[in-house]
A and B are shown apart, each in its own frame.
Chain A
Amino acid sequence: MEKAVSTHQLTKRFGDFIATNAITFDVAQGEIFGFLGANGAGKTTAMRMLCGLLKPSSGEATVAGFDVYRQSEKIKQNIGYMSQRFSLYEDLTVRENIRFYGGIYGLHRADIPAKTHQILQKLGIESVGDSLVASLPLGWKQKLAFSVALIHEPKIVFLDEPTGGVDPITRRQFWDLIYEAAHGGTTVFVTTHYMDEAEYCNRVSIMVDGKMQALDTPAGLKTTYDVDSMDAVFQILARGTSAK
């Protein structure tokens, strides 16, 4: 099977501090890959290296078959990215944002109106197409940001805590969108703090202090650690305490 992401001993140091310590893993094409860890465990750093936003200190990695050192611009054509910080232009309307990012990702000018219509319809927000993004509720903004990250139909989409701060119903809807994208063949690489979301992933990795401590399916992890929830797995690994 073709690998969407492949890393070997990937490391990032900031001075003496090792943010990401020699992580090695593969992500298969079309997989929903959960990237878990406490705050400061090195998730965002690892993700930024894979997106070409940070140069690794050592190790190897390929994304969509391209090398992170030499082909970062090629990678950028093939990935979508949604950061923790909300990254649409608040002072542009929904349509203008879609148009801008569509244009930047090289969509054909004639295709943009149809794409815009499709996104608005899918999210059920046709009525606010001409409203400023600043006026939308957070949940809508995040679903819109996700759709914009997918506008050029990338092979892989990186989501950095995409559902932070939204209500459970919106989170559920957000995951419906993720499933839909994965079903269409897009690889989803997602970081989260919500353990129920971890259950939705095909495979989950857990990072602790820059190292990757576990990598398996949710069911596999629960069996290995002999607990009945991902929450318990996380407690054992991240806190170093037994859930029992």
Chain B
Amino acid sequence: MNRIRYMVEKEIQQLRRNPVLLRIMIAAPIMQLILLSYAANYEVKNLNIAVVDGDHTTYSQRLVSKFRYLDNFKMTGYLPGDKQARQALLAGDADLVLVIPPHFERDLEKEGNTSVQLLLNAIDGSKAGIANGYATAIVRDFNSDIIAETKVVTPGVVPQLDIENQYWYNPKLEYKTFMVPGVLFELLLLVGGLVSALNIVREKEIGTMEQLNVTPIRKHEFIIGKSIPFVVIGLVLFTIGLLLGRFLFQVPLVGSVALMYVFAVLFLILCVGLGLLISTLAENQQQALFVSFFLLVLFILLSGLFASTENMPVWAQWLNVINPLKYIIEVGRNVMLKGSTFADVSRQFGALAGMAIGLLLLASWRYRKTV
């Protein structure tokens, strides 16, 4: 047991001697938290809209003016025809073009029925989808205005079905609220997994690992001694991140803080286990860096940090079964935003604990005191 204390003491001394690394380990993730949470934003603003008005009537003017008064749209002007509309899309001058056909007003009044056309630049699929959503809502709004004006509404005769949306757990649809819990854990993976792997491989490179291997230090003493400092640093980081999320980003923290910490510790142990495993496989820091980086990117992209995992193809969902980041991000969002209790996230706890134990066992099996 005593040897673990000496290992931890030594790691702390070495970290203190390397203030640059310490600063990078604390500052870089926090920068990332702030940048990612602000920048990775799916809210679509300043969509350039151009209009081809084939009707030039009061109705068509009213429809167009509805687009003018919305933040999300920026009117770039009128275009004379379809050909120019296509050119505007091609040149990137417009993100979408509203085409109002001739006889728009007449058809609406006489036949109670007409259509408009929306042309969208859909290279960025999600942006186009959102733009389409906004535009459709505006047209629908216009539609109901007209119905209200033209039809003599007798209560009970025209059934009105209104959908009123209520967004739960993130009522303002704040993107930051969605991102912060995810980024918080992604950072722990970075520090716990990558930095710990590099730390151990460095001892291999400078030869102190061989020296340790001729001492009577036991495997578990080495592994625990190496893990504790990284778990502690990770927790410091987690605390800073949680405070930033709460007070800078105003992300709600509905659930139990203690539960968040239980999961943070579990996740950090898992990450250090991964780092240890990588360090037993890699001969030098370059290899360790490459392997860690490969895994990190894979974990992050599949984790649901940016895009919902439910919409991913089946094979990706299968890969996600062994993606620790996916589970912990679910936990972070559910506990922070919904106030989930331990019972609600016990499935994730089981999966993460299983992976942590598995990784540690694999690492200690791979770690040999012989070369």
Q: Do A and B bind each other?
A: yes
* A interface residues with partner B (beta carbon < 8 Å): 48, 51-55, 72-73, 76-77, 79, 81, 83, 85-92, 96, 99-101, 103-106, 109, 132
| A87 CB contact (under 8 Å) in B5, B7, B211 | B211
* Complex interface: chain A residues within 8 A of B3 (CB): 103-104, 106
Report 9 cross-chain contacts, Cβ distance below 8 Å, ordered by A residue.
A48-B371, A53-B210, A53-B214, A79-B214, A91-B17, A92-B14, A100-B6, A101-B215, A105-B216
Q: Bound state CA distance, A100 and B210, in angstroms?
A: 15
For residue B208, CB closer than 8 A to chain A, the reply is yes
* Complex interface: chain B residues within 8 A of A88 (CB): 208, 211
* Chain B: minimal CB distance from A50 (Å): 10
| B10 CB contact (under 8 Å) in A87, A90, A100 | A100
Known contacts A91-B14, A103-B6; A76 and B215 CB within 8 A of each other: yes
Known contacts A52-B214, A53-B214, A91-B14; A103 and B2 CB within 8 A of each other: yes
* Complex interface: chain A residues within 8 A of B215 (CB): 76, 101, 104-105
* Chain A: minimal CB distance from B366 (Å): 16
- Inter-chain contact B207/A81, CB cutoff 8 Å: no
* B interface residues with partner A (beta carbon < 8 Å): 2-3, 5-7, 9-10, 13-14, 17-18, 206-208, 210-218, 369-371
- Inter-chain contact A76/B216, CB cutoff 8 Å: yes
- Inter-chain contact A73/B5, CB cutoff 8 Å: no
* Complex interface: chain A residues within 8 A of B210 (CB): 53, 83, 85, 87
Q: A52-B369, A87-B211, A103-B3 are in contact. List 8 more A-B contacts (CB 8 A).
A: A53-B210, A53-B370, A73-B218, A91-B17, A91-B18, A99-B9, A103-B2, A109-B2
Give the residue name and chain of the B residue nearest to A89 (CB).
B208
* Chain B: minimal CB distance from A110 (Å): 12
Give the residue name and chain of the A residue nearest to B222 (CB).
A104
| A51 CB contact (under 8 Å) in B17, B214, B218 | B214
Give the residue name and chain of the A residue nearest to B15 (CB).
A91
Which of A51, A87, A92 has the most C-beta atoms of chain B within 10 angstroms of its own C-beta? A87
